């Protein structure tokens, strides 16, 4: 049996966010990390040294591995930020600032 039906829940409709130019469906209340994972995206940051891929590690906002740029603001922890309709999310390279 569907748990939403059992609980008689009436969730709000899905909406879209944009990740690196690609539209992704998001469910209300999900963090950006959960939205990206549900879309099959497991890496959305590269390290400053070596450019190694990173995604969710701790999932509770302690480790800073899941940093993304949201609506032009770098350094946002994807595991803590709730996705909002129309959010523009980008892979964060290094610090997310112009490091040159």
What residue segments make up the domains of the chain, in order of their start? 13-93
Burial 44-78 (b: 16+ CB within 10 A, else e): bbbeeeeeeebbbeebeeeeebbbbbbeeebebbb
pLDDT value at position 100? Answer: 43
pLDDT value at position 97? Answer: 65
pLDDT value at position 66? Answer: 92
Q: Are strands 45-46 and 53-54 parallel, antiparallel or unpaired?
A: antiparallel
pTM over cut 0.85 = no
CB 33: neighbour CB atoms within 10 A?
Answer: 22
Q: Is the pLDDT of residue 74 over 50?
A: yes
pLDDT value at position 95? Answer: 67
pLDDT value at position 93? Answer: 81
Quick one: fold of 13-93? Ubiquitin-like (UB roll) (3.10.20)
Which whole number is the average pLDDT over 54-82? 92
Contact 91, 76 (CB under 8 A): no
User: Which band of pLDDT confidence, cut at 50, 70 and 90, is reported for residue 30?
Assistant: very high
């Amino acid at each position: 049996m569907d748990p939403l039906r059992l609980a008689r829940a009436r969730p709000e409709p899905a909406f879209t966010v944009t990740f690196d130019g690609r539209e992704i469906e998001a469910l209300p209340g999900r963090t950006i990390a959960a939205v990206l994972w549900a879309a099959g995206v497991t890496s959305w940051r590269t390290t400053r040294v070596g450019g190694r891929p990173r995604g969710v590690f701790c999932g509770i906002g302690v480790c800073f591995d899941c940093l993304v740029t949201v609506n032009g603001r770098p350094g946002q922890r994807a595991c803590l930020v709730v996705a909002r309709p129309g959010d523009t999310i980008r892979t964060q390279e290094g610090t997310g600032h112009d490091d040159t």
